[in-house]
Amino acid sequence: MPVYVDYDVPADLAESALEALEVARDTGTVRKGTNETTKAIERGNAELVLIAEDVSPEEIVMHLPELAEEKGIAYVFVGAQDDVGHAAGLEVGSAAAAIVDAGEADDQVEDIASKVAELK
């Protein structure tokens, strides 16, 4: 397990987060990539942050969990960069993504955020 992963995410919760990202991509607003995700968190715009567990070097996303904690934003770890990238609408992997406006996935994002709070 990478250094920055501070809790285990059940497979169904990770899958649910990816589905929410796909719905938000189509009906709301998402930010893709570490830089855009970092900006969304710093500005307090992000509703949910997805971070891939297979990022190398780890330093690329190591700051995201701590930053999200400071801002009170829920974050979830997903197995692979490819999964995050495809759910965000990219043809390549993405180390991180943020849901800024959940659109039709609003209830799903709230549900994920409450489950994440229970895991910590």
pLDDT at 92: 97
What single letter denotes the amino acid at residue 119? L
- Residue pair 115/57 in contact by the 8 Å Cβ criterion: no
Contact predicate 102/17, CB 8 Å? no
Q: Has residue 43 got a pLDDT over 90? A: yes
Nearest to 27 by CA among 109, 118, 120: 109
pLDDT in tens, 71-120: 999 999 999 999 999 999 999 999 999 999 999 999 999 999 999 999 88
Question: 5-39: per-residue pLDDT in tens?
Answer: 888 999 999 999 999 999 999 999 999 999 999 99
